[in-house]
């Protein structure tokens, strides 16, 4: 079965499907439209960017839906001049005499089902044109040759646009101005000759009005492969508080392989990743509240003094950010295609129970991208120096491009937790390769092995830790296989890793040159 025929089948819902099943179907259709289809008019193709779902049957009485009689995968000009892509429908029609004129009325009985997908935004595949709003999208469907068969009629065509994801929100402007729900329902019911009780339909309207049936396409984020500049804290070169020897070796390596290095000013320690904003797009940064519990709760009173104020660091850098008040660490945000992967520590740091759906929705809306949550467990004493109290996703995974993820060796020590992380990522369509040292070396060095995944990638250059142990060469092979078109370099950093971080934690890399983001 072709993708088009699969889409047609998805658009045939019928009268027997309940609300839970229908909402799952909406998700399937949205991903299909975003990933596998475009609208073609002439030689130009447009990707679906924002869509809204409307469907009515007796088990999903979304009375907001305009009645129509149509086959699946047909266009429909709705009452407001926008364009819908129709579901298959079945609804009885009666011709009624209204003030001496014949008028078509619908019968809203238990057998009726109908609906469509409103197209709210389209974007050309080269990104040069955006049709924003239902009216703008509907312009594609106007002005055809009245005599000859048009070659410019908009058609849905199969088009592989790579991995995308979506955010969900409430549908827009279902009630206008001072209009009330009862008056809106009365307006809708003017289309019907027969319908359920009006008061029940008003309750249905209220219930469906807040449903998250608007889907917004999210394309690939800015990733390490797009970056071309690296920033280091000045504290790293400090003879007493930093690691001057390592700083010199690292900057010499950067210079030797053509990576530009700059200094972050106004920092409070030699780490850089966690307090700096995340780059979502070429000129789009998100700044968050950096207030980590591993510094706030530390028994060492000096640790709290090392919380860097990102606003001071950004002064004079020419970087504008949008802000969120949520407590986040930069090391707990790993872009993977269109997703941001975070551990569930983000819930507790913001005072919420793990799995809180309302908080997750807020997190996604403020970041502007869907978030994949992976589990994290504190093993050992919080106040112990060798305990992972950070809960950062960059200590677990690295995106390799496309739908591929390289995962660290967490499974060597905690196989059940590693399995849970892998299964979650696979549920989003990723293929996960795990680094493993168990049964490959005689005496694994657990205090170092976790750090290999915390490597730095800048463009097609990768720098990863080494510790002069047996695992160095095994980890190098994993990274070479995961990134076959990258140069991979190693640098010894045993002393730093003992303090809880590696190269990705030490560096902040961004894209400055005007290039398009990676869509591997």
Domain boundary among 218, 247, 275: 218
Residues 304 and 171 in one domain: no
pLDDT truncated to tens, each residue of the chain (520 aa)? 899 999 999 999 999 999 999 999 999 999 999 999 999 998 999 999 999 999 999 999 999 999 999 999 999 988 778 999 999 999 999 987 767 677 889 999 999 999 999 999 999 999 899 999 999 999 998 877 777 776 788 999 999 988 889 999 999 999 988 899 999 999 999 999 999 999 999 999 999 999 999 999 998 899 999 999 999 999 999 888 889 999 999 999 999 999 999 999 999 999 999 999 999 988 899 999 999 999 988 888 888 889 999 999 999 899 999 999 999 999 999 999 999 999 999 999 999 999 999 999 999 999 999 999 999 998 877 777 667 789 999 999 999 999 999 999 999 999 999 999 999 999 999 999 999 998 899 888 988 999 999 999 999 999 999 999 999 999 999 999 999 999 999 999 999 999 889 999 999 999 986 554 443 3
pLDDT at position 232 is 97
The answer to whether 106 and 86 have CB atoms below 8 angstroms apart is: no
Q: From CA 226, how far away is CA 61, in angstroms rounded?
A: 47
Within-domain flag for 519: no
User: Does 56 share its domain with 167?
Assistant: yes
Tell whether 245 and 192 lie within a shared domain.
no
Same structural domain, 180 and 314: no
- Parent domain of 164: 3-218
Please tell me the distance from the alpha carbon of residue 437 to that of residue 460, in angstroms, as a whole number: 26
The three-point CA angle 334-336-337 to 5° equals 145
Indicate the number of domains in the chain. 2
Q: Which of 175, 192, 218 is the last residue of a domain?
A: 218
Q: Are residues 196 and 276 in the same domain?
A: no
Q: What is the pLDDT of residue 330?
A: 96
Residue 517: inside a domain, yes or no?
Answer: no
Specify whether 187 is located in the same domain as 244.
Answer: no
Last residue of a domain, one of 174, 196, 218: 218
Same domain, 240 and 320: yes
Spatial distance between the Cα atoms of 349 and 229, rounded to a whole number of angstroms: 30
- 289 and 211 share a domain? no
pLDDT in tens, 387-425: 778 999 999 999 999 999 999 999 999 999 999 999 999
Q: What is the pLDDT of residue 520?
A: 33
Can you give the pLDDT at residue 513?
66
Q: Would you state the pLDDT for residue 410?
A: 96
515 found inside a domain: no
**Cβ–Cβ < 8 Å for 218, 163:** no
Q: Are residues 411 and 269 in the same domain?
A: yes
The DSSP string of 274-329 is TTSPEEEETTEEEEEE---HHHHS-SSTTGGGG---HHHHHTTS---EEEEEEE--
520 within domain boundaries: no
Is 484 in the same domain as 337? Answer: yes
Domain contains 210: yes
List helix spans (H) across 14-145.
19-36, 134-138
Three-class DSSP category at 380: coil
Spell out the residues 6+ positions from residue 356 whose beta carbon is closer than 8 angstroms to its own: 347
Contact 397, 408 (CB under 8 A): yes
181 and 233 inside one domain: no
Say if 452 falls within a structural domain: yes
d(CA 234, CA 313): 11
Residues 197 and 127 occupy one common structural domain: yes
**195 lies in some domain:** yes
Residue 516 lies in a domain: no
CATH number, domain with residue 283: 3.75.10.10
């Amino acid at each position: 079965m072709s993708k088009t025929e699969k889409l047609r089948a998805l658009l045939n819902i019928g009268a027997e499907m309940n609300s839970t099943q229908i909402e799952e179907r909406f998700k399937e259709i949205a991903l299909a439209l975003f990933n596998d289809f475009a609208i073609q008019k002439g030689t130009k193709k447009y990707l679906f960017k924002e869509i809204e779902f409307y469907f009515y049957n007796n088990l999903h009485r979304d009375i907001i839906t305009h009645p129509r009689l149509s086959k699946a995968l047909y266009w429909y000009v709705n009452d407001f001049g926008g364009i819908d892509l129709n579901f298959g429908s079945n609804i009885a029609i009666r011709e009624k005499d209204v003030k001496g004129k014949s008028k078509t009325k619908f019968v809203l009985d238990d057998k009726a089902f109908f609906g469509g997908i409103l197209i709210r935004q389209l974007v050309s595949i080269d990104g040069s044109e955006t049709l924003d709003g239902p009216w703008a999208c509907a312009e594609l469907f106007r002005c055809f040759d009245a005599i000859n068969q048009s070659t410019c009629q908009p058609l849905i065509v199969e088009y592989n646009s790579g991995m995308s994801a979506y955010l969900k929100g409430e549908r827009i402007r279902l009630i206008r101005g001072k209009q009330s729900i009862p008056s809106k329902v009365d307006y809708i019911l003017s289309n019907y000759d027969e319908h359920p009780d009006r008061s029940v339909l008003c309750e249905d309207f209220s219930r469906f009005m807040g449903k998250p049936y608007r889907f917004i396409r999210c394309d690939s984020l800015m990733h390490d492969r797009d970056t071309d500049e690296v920033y280091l804290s000045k504290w790293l070169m400090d003879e007493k508080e930093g690691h001057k020897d390592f700083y010199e070796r690292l900057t010499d390596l950067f210079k030797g392989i053509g990576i530009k290095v700059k200094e972050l000013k106004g920092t409070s320690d030699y780490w850089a990743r966690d307090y700096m904003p995340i780059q979502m797009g070429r000129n789009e940064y998100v700044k968050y509240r950096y207030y980590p519990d591993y510094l706030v709760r530390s028994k060492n009173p000096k640790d709290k003094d090392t919380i860097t104020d990102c606003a001071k660091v950004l002064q004079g850098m020419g970087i504008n950010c949008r802000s969120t008040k949520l407590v986040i660490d930069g090391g707990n945000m790993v872009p993977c295609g269109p997703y941001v992967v975070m551990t569930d520590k983000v819930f507790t740091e913001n005072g919420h129970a793990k799995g809180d759906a309302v908080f997750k929705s807020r997190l996604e809306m403020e970041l502007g991208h869907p978030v994949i949550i992976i589990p994290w467990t504190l093993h050992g004493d919080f106040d112990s120096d060798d305990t992972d109290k950070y809960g950062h996703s960059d200590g677990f995974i690295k995106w390799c491009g496309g739908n591929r993820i390289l995962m660290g060796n967490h499974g060597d020590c905690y196989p059940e937790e590693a399995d849970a992380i892998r299964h979650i990522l696979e549920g989003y369509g990723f293929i996960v390769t795990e680094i493993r040292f168990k049964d490959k070396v005689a005496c694994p060095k657990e205090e170092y092995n976790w750090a290999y995944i915390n490597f730095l990638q800048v463009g097609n250059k990768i720098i990863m830790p080494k510790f002069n142990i047996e695992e160095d060469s095994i980890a190098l092979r994993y990274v070479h296989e995961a990134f076959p078109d990258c140069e991979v370099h190693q640098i010894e950093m045993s002393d730093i890793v003992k303090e809880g971080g590696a190269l990705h934690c030490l560096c902040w890399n961004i894209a400055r040159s005007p290039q398009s983001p990676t869509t591997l």
